[in-house]
Amino acid sequence: MADLHILRQHSLGLPDARKVAFKWAEHAEEELGMHCIYEEGKTVDEVSFRRSGVHGTLSVTKDKFELQAKLGFLVGAFKARIESEIIKNLDDLLTPKPKLRAHAKPQVTKGK
């Protein structure tokens, strides 16, 4: 079995980190076919995930995300790719998105 361990520090605080973790769990279920269980705690939340050949947890606190997973023999052959996809997805979710500003309407002047 291959092991994955990914740690990401953040400064979101637990309420906003929870939102990111929910999005991650939704992505894992919809795109990766994982079965996820989300458990909220006072200081740490945990997402347990499982599918054939993979199981693990994503622990969420006010200042870090920590993913630990075990990959079965066949899935373990793709460890590097799986790890890079998880890192990319988590980093994308943790990167603040620029806020869109409303465009000012052009000023129209009427001719004389």
Q: Are 64 and 8 in contact (CB under 8 A)?
A: yes
pLDDT tens digits for range 71-112: 998 888 888 888 888 888 888 888 876 665 655 555 555 655
Order of strands, sheet of 45-51, starting from the edge strand that comes earlier in the sequence? 2-9, 64-71, 54-60, 45-51, 35-39
pLDDT tens digits for range 10-42: 999 999 999 999 999 999 999 889 999 999 999
- Does 3.40.50.720 match the CATH number of domain 2-94? no
Q: How far is the C-alpha of 20 from the C-alpha of 38, rounded, in Å?
A: 12
Q: Are 67 and 4 in contact (CB under 8 A)?
A: yes
